[in-house]
Amino acid sequence: MVDQKIRVRKYDGRTQVFNREKIEVAILKAAEAIGEEIPKATIKRISAEVEEMVEKLDKKTVKSEEISKFVEDKLMNSSYKNIARCYIEYRHKQDLVREVNTTDKSILELLDGRNEYWNRENSNKNARLVTTQRDYIAGITATDLTRRYFLDKDIVNAHDEGIIHFHDADYFLPGAGRNNCCLVNLEDMLQNGTVINNVKIEKPHKFSTACTIATQIITAVSSSQYGGVTVSLTHLAPFVRDSYNRFYKEYLKRGLPKEQAKEFAELDTKREVKDGVQTFNYQVNSMSSTNGQAPFISVGMDISETKEYKKELAMIIEEFLKQRIEGMKNEQGIWITMAFPKLLYVLCEENITEDAPYWYLTELSAKCTAKRMVPDYISAKKMREYKINKFNKGDVYPCMGCRSFLTPDRIKGNPSKALNYKENEGKYYGRFNSGVVTLSLPDIALSSKGDFKKFWELFEERTELCHKALQARLDSIKNISPDIAPILWKHGAFARLTSEDSVEPLLKGGYSTISLGFAGLYECVKYMTGHSHTDEAEGEKFGLEIMQALNDKCAQWKKEEDVDYSVYGTPIESTTYKFAKCLKKRFGDDVFTKIDGKDRDYITNSYHTWVEEEIDPFEKLRIESKFQKLSPGGAISYVETANLQNNIEAVLEVIKFIYDNIMYAELNTKSDYCQVCGYDHEIEIIEDGKGNLIYKCPNCGNTDHSKMNIARRVCGYISTTMPNNGRMDEFRNRYVHLDNHEAK
């Protein structure tokens, strides 16, 4: 028997005398929890053996977790492995319950206002605002519950170690499950009416009203999910004609001749389009969702999406571009770059050549991109090659939010009960993504120590862990009632279900997607082969092999479950820093130096070229297009540029190249303003002497971020707040691909 002087130190610091009966009770509870029997004699034998192991430690005080590990090992080495697993889960939950209350600590640090993590956690959230703090406080509490009660230990541990990243745990709780991002079925909601906050909203009869209702829908949808929202301007186009007809009839009623009535009606319609677009822009930038920020909104601009309302759609697109070029005023009344809405301009046969009827819109979009970083560009040509629907037809549709793309339509019938459902056409609006879990590819490579056999063993193990985490995501949503978010499930954004309907059919059959994210392909390939994945030789071959393997896993899971798992090039806005810190902790502070000789605090996004690689912009897009094709769940490539406002021809050349070579890409420039001195060129990134990277005006030396307006492309969306050190490090190291230097 263990010396009665030996004490056990509990998780809260208290100690008590060792008592092996507590071990026996815990094993018995684990067995009962899964309905398995284990003889009492076996339990007593295990507890006695553990007691002997404790005695051999020759310590006066033994940690509780040491004893738990002895019990786990004994059970795992017996024929009662299922009981062992249950015991491990039981101990895990008890460990978390007994931990020091990290929730209180996190909330207090947030409210203190001086914690760098919270102040720079999200690239578009201001943690000093009460609306944001309220969302964060709810998120901290939800994350705590998620970790302790709703996610298995192996998922939590892998997330903490940076092996995977379980995104948006603060919006996970089962029963309150939210989806990620979506394509809103705005056409159905405007044409057939909707309900917001129990108020019936009927079909509008003019463009300005339609714009106002659209922004209300966007805010309501944003408050009911946690990711980006996309609407199509095509769905607003019919209301431009309604406005024109109202004006025309009014002038005829006043006795004006038809030609004069037509002329005046057209002028009034143009004014209404201008006012309606202005209302849209003001609303989405001034309204706040329950997530504590302006809605993450993208708008699709596809002139080929309609035949009947092409003229009206062109008017809307033109006005959106003109107003975006102008910008929005800051507190001082200076025109600056705004983050939202993100503009998605579709390149097609009708706007890609100088003799095309809507080439003037493409020229305008190029000017807008050069000044305000948007729009981003979707190639209809490449998309039709990649997105083949069940009718064997290539489809074109916008991404959800910044980059998440739906799988091609394979839906049977109309499970969403949409009122605008059309037979024999691809269905995209009203569909959504259920969430993302991201795999750190560099960690697999480093854990394998360069052994390719071990690499693929770890790849299999960790992708299946991601699969398990993604299934938890689906489980958190499948049993919710449509009443939990009526705007989504009952009133048209996603569906027209009743309170008694199940949302589960919309998680299967290709209606929605769920994403296997990946990050750090460059570092992974570089470590394993000694080459970049952009070398078009050994490195590229291995990189494409990894991408294909990710797709094969998604195809396997899809076949087994009828769920559209899809490979996704994760933006890792703040996670880039987390992954880098975890790699340094697990493999040494010099881990990046070992990979390529360059220390840093970030890993490379998705399949992107290493940010410091000196590469021609056209070569970059051409090479990355091979990897983007294998990231069908979403990805975006970029070209970093200097100020090109005086070289729109260069922008147009890149746009044309995008159309012919890659499905989705953007051009990144800088758009800054110092409120202290009025400097409006690029503001520098410097070290502040305390280990932080901050912005500094090179003209007056201002380092107060609250007195600057800075717009930087994080990865997809534009950031107007100061991101974490890792992302700032990545910003300052980006090679400018399009400048006045010679390409190497």
As given in the structure block, the two tokens for residue 428 are 């995209």
606 is catalytic: no
433 is catalytic: yes
In terms of Cα–Cα distance, which of 275, 281, 172 is closest to 218? Answer: 281
Residue indicated by tokens 């579709």: 346
Identity at 497, one-letter amino acid code: L
| Cα distance between residue 312 and residue 190, in whole Å | 16
Cβ neighbours of 597 (radius 10 Å): 7
Q: Looking at 208, 404, 440, 661, which residue is catalytic?
A: 404
Q: Looking at 350, 573, 640, 730, which residue is catalytic?
A: 573
Q: Looking at 309, 565, 568, 659, which residue is catalytic?
A: 568
Name the packing angle between helices 81-98 and 153-161 (round to 10°).
60
Residues in the chain: 744
Under a CB-based contact definition with an 8 Å cutoff, are residues 713 and 719 in contact? yes
| Cα distance between residue 313 and residue 438, in whole Å | 38
Q: Looking at 328, 383, 399, 400, which residue is catalytic?
A: 400
CA distances from 497 to 329, 430, 488, 508, 526 (A): 42, 12, 9, 16, 50
Q: Is 312 exposed, middle or buried (0-12, 13-18, 19+ CB in 10 A)?
A: buried
As given in the structure block, the two tokens for residue 610 are 């290493």
Residues with Cβ within 8 Å of 716's Cβ and at least 6 positions away in sequence, in order, are: 342, 376, 401, 402, 403, 571, 636, 666
Query: Sign of the C-alpha dihedral, residues 327, 237, 195, 514?
Result: negative
In terms of Cα–Cα distance, which of 98, 93, 97, 117 is closest to 106? Answer: 117
| Cα distance between residue 355 and residue 343, in whole Å | 24
Name the DSSP letter for residue 148: I
Q: Looking at 182, 211, 301, 402, which residue is catalytic?
A: 402
| Cα distance between residue 550 and residue 553, in whole Å | 5
Three-state secondary structure string covering 495-542: CCCCCCCCCHHHHCCCCCEEEEEEECHHHHHHHHHCCCCCCCCHHHHH
400 is catalytic: yes
- Mapped onto helix, strand or coil, the DSSP state of residue 612 is coil
Residue indicated by tokens 């970083």: 373
Half-sphere exposure (Cβ direction) of 20: Cα atoms closer than 13 Å: 19
Q: Looking at 180, 185, 389, 448, which residue is catalytic?
A: 180
Q: Looking at 222, 379, 433, 724, which residue is catalytic?
A: 433
716 is catalytic: yes
As given in the structure block, the two tokens for residue 468 are 């398990």
H helix or E strand, kind and range, residue 210: helix 207-224
Cβ neighbours of 119 (radius 10 Å): 18
Residue indicated by tokens 């305390």: 690
In terms of Cα–Cα distance, which of 732, 740, 676, 733 is closest to 702? Answer: 676
Residues with Cβ within 8 Å of 435's Cβ and at least 6 positions away in sequence, in order, are: 167, 168, 179, 180, 470, 473, 514, 515
Q: Looking at 162, 327, 543, 716, which residue is catalytic?
A: 716
Pairing between β-strand 15-17 and β-strand 7-9 as defined by DSSP bridges: antiparallel
The DSSP string of 106-141 is HHHHHHHS--HHHHTSSTT--TTSHHHHHHHHHHHH
573 is catalytic: yes
Q: Which residues pair with 329 in a beta bridge?
A: 335
Q: Looking at 51, 162, 181, 466, which residue is catalytic?
A: 181
| Cα distance between residue 219 and residue 286, in whole Å | 11
Identity at 430, one-letter amino acid code: G
674 is catalytic: no
Three-state secondary structure string covering 310-341: HHHHHHHHHHHHHHHHHCEECCCCCEECCCCC
Residues with Cβ within 8 Å of 417's Cβ and at least 6 positions away in sequence, in order, are: 495, 496, 497
Q: Which residues pair with 345 in a beta bridge?
A: 301, 377
H helix or E strand, kind and range, residue 378: strand 376-379
As given in the structure block, the two tokens for residue 540 are 């590229």
448 is catalytic: no
Residues assigned a catalytic role? 180-181, 400, 402, 404, 433, 568, 573, 716
